[in-house]
Amino acid sequence: MTALRLTPLLIPGSRRSMRLVERNVYVYRHTWLVILSGFFEPLFYLLSIGFGLGALIGTIPGPDGEPIPYQLFVAPALLASASMNGAINESTFNFFFKLNYNKTFTAILSTPLSPGDIAVGELAWALIRGGLYALGFVVVMLVFGLVVSPWAILVVPSALLIGFAFGAVGMAATSFMKTWQDFDLIQLVILPLFLFSATFFPIETYPPVLQVIVRLTPLYQGVDLIRSLTVGAISPILLVHVAYLSVMGFIGLAVVSRRLDKLLLT
């Protein structure tokens, strides 16, 4: 029985899991503005900081050490941050409400879906929302001339990978939460990641010890991955970023599947 419940972890495209995605599409079809609103936050940051502050800064060292416009430095980092924030919002607040208040998942278990299906389906929906944001932001970057390498074709899949990693871990963390006040702990983690993951200035500006710490954080992996692809600074370290985020996502997905199994079936 346990093996059957964990099968969706090995087959993310499980048809049963996709039923949960269909449910979310129906729920949001009359409130599509809620989904659309998530696109504007990184856009406003880009216009205000990237172009506003960027007019004063000029150029800044890129991933390969070559100077690039500040807007080109900030835009990929904002895309990575938006992927993180979108995944966290969907996999924490909404997930917590469905799990503890609306009892959505309890009702779903009366169908053939298992806790593993629920975990994969909810994560897939978070990735779909994140993918729409990423695609829209890439279009904005193209309009402003902030895509200078053909490797940028991999930016959207990379943004989805970031969403997968943070979404899975976000759901796993949420499964341990008891009250809404516990979400303060998530913001206590997310805000420093957003500010200090080389989002707005090069990591070399930090003291050496802090540089090591930042390089080990998950958002930095995503920021450096998307920034490097955007400017064409390809190196073996990008494979490390992909492996880091993939492992993070699969660990989170395994944990939340087991937690849902315990919370909903006992």
Question: Quick one: three-class SS letters along 231-248?
Answer: HCCCCCHHHHHHHHHHHH
Which candidate, 245, 247, 239, places its Cα nearest to that of 220?
Answer: 245
pLDDT at position 2: 40
In 3-state terms, what secondary structure has residue 266? Answer: coil
Residue 34 has what pLDDT?
62
pTM summary value: 0.87
pLDDT in tens, 44-93: 888 888 888 788 888 888 888 788 999 999 999 999 988 888 888 888 88
- pLDDT given for residue 9 in this prediction: 44
Residues 6+ apart with CB under 8 A from 62: 68, 72, 73, 227, 231, 233
Which amino acid makes up residue 77? A
Instruction: Give the number of other Cβ atoms within 10 Å of residue 33's Cβ.
Output: 8
- In the prediction, which pLDDT does 251 show? 94
CA dihedral 243, 81, 40, 72 (to 10 degrees): -90
Cβ atoms within 10 Å, residue 56: 7
Whether the CB-CB separation of 260 and 2 falls below 8 Å is answered with no
Place of tokens 């090591």: 212
User: Mean pLDDT for the chain?
Assistant: 84
Buried b (16+ CB within 10 A) or exposed e, 202-232: ebeebeeeebeebeebbbbbbbbbbbbbbbb
Six-digit token string for 7: 């099968």
Q: Is the model more confident about 163 or about 48?
A: 163
Residue 152 has pLDDT above 80, yes or no: yes
The tens digit of pLDDT for each residue in 231-265 reads 999 999 999 999 999 999 999 999 988 888 888 77
CA-based nearest residue to 261, from 123, 96, 122, 113: 113
d(CA 141, CA 24): 29
Amino acid in the structure at residue 73: F
